[in-house]
Structure 1
Amino acid sequence: MNYFKSLTTITFFLFSYLGLSQSYVGHSIDNYSGIIGVIDNPSNIVDSRFKTDINLMSASTFIGSDYYAIDFGELFGEDVDIDNTAQISASEKNNFFSNADIIGPSFMFNINANNSIGVITRLRVFANINNINGSLFESLNESFDETNDFDFDSSNLVSTTHAWAELGISYGRILYDDYDHFLKGGITLKLLQGAGVSFFNSPGFSGNYDASAQTIATAGSINYGSRNDIYEDDPIDFEDLKTGFGADLGFTYEWRRNNTTDGKGHNKYLLKVGLAVTDIGSITYDDVTQYNYDLNNQTESTINYNDTEEFLNENYSFTEITKKIKVNLPTALRLSADYHIDRSIYLSLQGAFSLIKNNTQFTNKINNAVTISPRIETKWFSFYTPVSFRQYDDTAWGAGFRLGPLTLGSSSILSNVISDNSKSTDLYVGLKIPIYQSKKYN
């Protein structure tokens, strides 16, 4: 396995593996998003516009980096080589990121006017590389071909790829309602099933590459480990699983100024504000194989370099241990505000912020993002066009729609079309059976 080459292709593998699959940006704030809104804030399960919402299948994928900037129009040609078509922005601390989220058969329904429950099944894959030296990454990815001399000093390099499944039980309750002011809360408790993890970490390593001699001098240390290595070509194995537990917690407040509307089938608010903490929890793997490489005071030839792991094994001393590691979920704080402008016109502001530090080992993290999204929303149809300002100097503009049971969208499709240096892309699709509230239901 060439670990570094795998890192550059893992996000595209996820995209092709899922077919049409930050998740569901623009759609999740829709009052008719159903289960999708619950994964962002579990309080959305109660006082919804549905009697019952049955998700058949929804999928989302998100990929990007601050190393590659891509003209997506060139990716559809024959024999595309991303390394030759992309604009490279190498820095001391580059970052790569991707996630894929499949929501399987799931449902939510009302117990009564004040209480609702639901069951959510999900399959998720996250991949992060944080703080990797861009020049070193480029040389490793190119097998040190056509490389000039360079020095590198890398600290707090962390990379984690993790695959797991979830079974969530959601509950929501109306906490306060006096016509003008409305408050609800919700919680999702999750049974987690971990399929495997791969990681590559270093507290610090440095060195220099001599292009004429084709040698690399190094100092420091690197740790590599895996359980059920999910970089292999075979599909992810969900037979040998490890159990963990997780939770989401959220609240929503609505200002219902001069509200005179009865029934659950209407949106009554002028302003709606939400707060949630999602993906609290972890999965512990007790039989992870880890290799600790000592890179100190060595100069090695890179001639015939083909594989990073093989190069390390042949040239550096290492110890192999079996250890227990706890892999944390990508815990995040999510804030939202939705303003009802007039009739079917809304304007939302959403923020998603990682509660995981950039140098934390054995965990994944979301990218911090703030999204502004105008939308037209009716019972059977919604259209939204989100603009997102994301971490790593990434701005994305997208569009999506909901037409009855079908949802399709991307928070970056428009910026990908008009820009020749896009840093991220995403796509989501969903199919469900919506059973709407009666306008007279209380």
Structure 2
Amino acid sequence: MRKFTLALSLAALLPMASQAQRYLGIANSNWSGTNGVYLNPANLGDSRHKFTIDLFSVNVGINNSLTKIQAYDAVNGLLSDDSANLGKYIIPSGNDKFNILAMGEVRGPGAMISLGAKHGIAITTRVRSMFQFNDFNSVLAKNLLDNEYAPTSTNKFKSDAFNWTQNTWAEVGLSYGGVIYEKEKHAVKGGITLRYLKGVGYTAITSDNLDGEYQTTQTDPILRIYNTNLHYGTAGISVGSGLDASKITDYFTAKNTGGGVGADLGFVYEFRPKYKDNLYDMDNKTGIMDRSKPSYKLRISAAVTDIGSINYKTGNKVINFANKTSAPADIKGSELANRVNDYQSLVSYLDSRGIAGDSGTGTQKTKLKLPTMLMIGADYHAVKNLY
């Protein structure tokens, strides 16, 4: 089965592709099934589905500031099975710092069932991967990510606190949603999702300071580091070269990785000015709501998703890097990029270049927080079937 290169896949994740895969046109509706659970678990309440089963789907997306995505080249690279790196398609705009949060997920088997007219439960499974730069220096990023990067002149940089994180995990979620208030024109629904998180693997770099310059005076350009204080950690299965679709089940059963608990919490408000049009009488009962018809004029959704964290402890490797002496350390960008996901290879390489590390293998744990988000949406019934 084809192996999807993580860097290339995330580079090609355009915002419009992300929205299409999230089914935003229906994900906040009463017909969303399990698709709406990922945005707001309250969508399970008053669902028009009695029972649904999910088999497989893929969702990808990227959020960034101060960068430009070469969308056309990224898509062509993905379709041609090009193994090019992330930096080839994500170009900093020239500002000193920028942020990127790219995510990809494979949604596995899942199901939802309605418990009467007002309540519902669901079980979902996913494998997710997150790639994040925070306050990252643009020159350093190009050097790390693009093996073909060759500036025409010397570029000096001074980077203060920043972090880079790559985290992949599997999860199993149990969700509940229901109508908690319903009277005439107004209805409120609430929902919660609890997830067991299975950490697959992570790599993280945080920096207190990093001063250097990119030298182009030689045939093979180098990154010259004058002063640095970096903290590096890694554990679990290395997925830096890509997510292998044939090993999805292995990510759920992998031993000696990380674990944790996550949650989503959400509410939905519906304004129903014409609620009387949906009422009918039958079998000596009056005022029965016909839930097969559209019920709201305005619908507002609010949810906090991905509350929680993953703890990596067993096999966790943590190390602090700093210049050995006052002399600068010369590093080749392509050599560093090839080793950043391999702990022992990275330590040996940096030591040979004048950057020493003090480490404690298997003696520390690392907590990685989930990418918590506040999701707010609105759905307005304009005319007939137009929302």
Same fold (TM over 0.5): yes
Cα distance, 1:297 vs. partner? 3.0
Cα deviation, 1:323-354, whole Å, max 9, x if unaligned, reads 101111111111111110111101xxxxxxxx
1:144·1:305 contact (CA, 8 Å) conserved in 2?
no
**What's 1:307 paired with?**
336
The aligned amino acid for 2:293 is H
Q: Do structure 1's residue 96 and structure 2's residue 100 form an aligned pair? A: yes
Write out per-residue CA displacement over residues 10-63 of structure 1, whole angstroms, 9 at most, x where no aligned residue: 3314689xxx99761524234322101111100000101111122122211124
Q: Is the 8 A contact 1:49 1:266 kept in 2?
A: no
Q: In structure 1, how many angstroms separate the alpha carbons of the residues matched to 2:53 and 2:100?
A: 34
Amino acid at match of 1:242: G
Name 2:159's counterpart in structure 1.
154
More helix by share: 2
Distance 1:111 1:234 in 2: 37
* Match for residue 254 of structure 1 among 229, 247, 270: 270
Q: Aligned pair in 2 of structure 1 residues 291, 25: CA closer, same or farther (>3 Å)? A: farther
| Partner residue, 1:5 | none
RMSD of aligned C-alpha atoms?
Answer: 3.1
1:24 aligns to 2:22 (yes or no): yes
What is aligned with 1:216?
A: 224
1:208 to partner: Cα distance: 3.0
SS at match of 1:313: helix
TM-score scaled by structure 2?
0.77
- What residue is the counterpart of 1:319 in the other structure? 358
Alignment of 1:208-287 (within 5 A): 208-212=213-217, 216-228=224-236, 229-232=238-241, 235=244, 238=251, 239-240=254-255, 241-260=257-276, 261=278, 262-287=289-314
Report the 3-state secondary structure (helix = DSSP H, G, I; strand = E; otherwise coil) of the residue aligned with 1:40: coil
CA distance in 1, matches of 2:331, 2:258: 39
Alignment partner of 1:297 is 2:326: yes
Matching of residue 69 in structure 1 with residue 87 in structure 2: no
Which structure would you say has the larger RCO, counting Cα contacts within 8 Å and 6 or more residues apart? Answer: 1
Is the contact made by 1:199 and 1:225 (CA closer than 8 Å) also made in structure 2? yes
| Residues 181/217 of structure 1: CA separation in 2 closer, same or farther (3 Å cut) | closer
CA deviation after TM superposition for structure 1 residue 178, in Å: 1.0
Q: Is the 8 A contact 1:180 1:256 kept in 2?
A: yes
Q: Which runs of 5+ in 2 are unaligned?
A: 279-288, 338-345
Q: Using the alignment, how far apart are the partners of 1:85 and 1:116 within structure 2?
A: 42
Q: Which moved more, 1:283-292 or 1:73-82?
A: 73-82
- Written as runs of structure 1 = structure 2, the 5 A alignment for 1:100-249 is 100-140=104-144, 141-142=146-147, 145=150, 147-212=152-217, 216-228=224-236, 229-232=238-241, 235=244, 238=251, 239-240=254-255, 241-249=257-265
Q: Give percent identity, aligned residues only.
A: 30
Larger Rg: 2
Name the CA shift for 1:339/1:311 in 2 (closer, same or farther; >3 Å).
same
Q: Distance in 2 between matches of 1:182 and 1:25?
A: 24
Q: Secondary structure at the match of 1:342?
A: coil
- 2: CA distance, partners of 1:142 / 1:58: 32
Deviation at 1:154, TM superposition (A): 0.9
TM-score (norm. length: structure 1)? 0.68
> Is the CA contact 2:147–2:334 (under 8 Å) kept in the aligned structure 1?
no
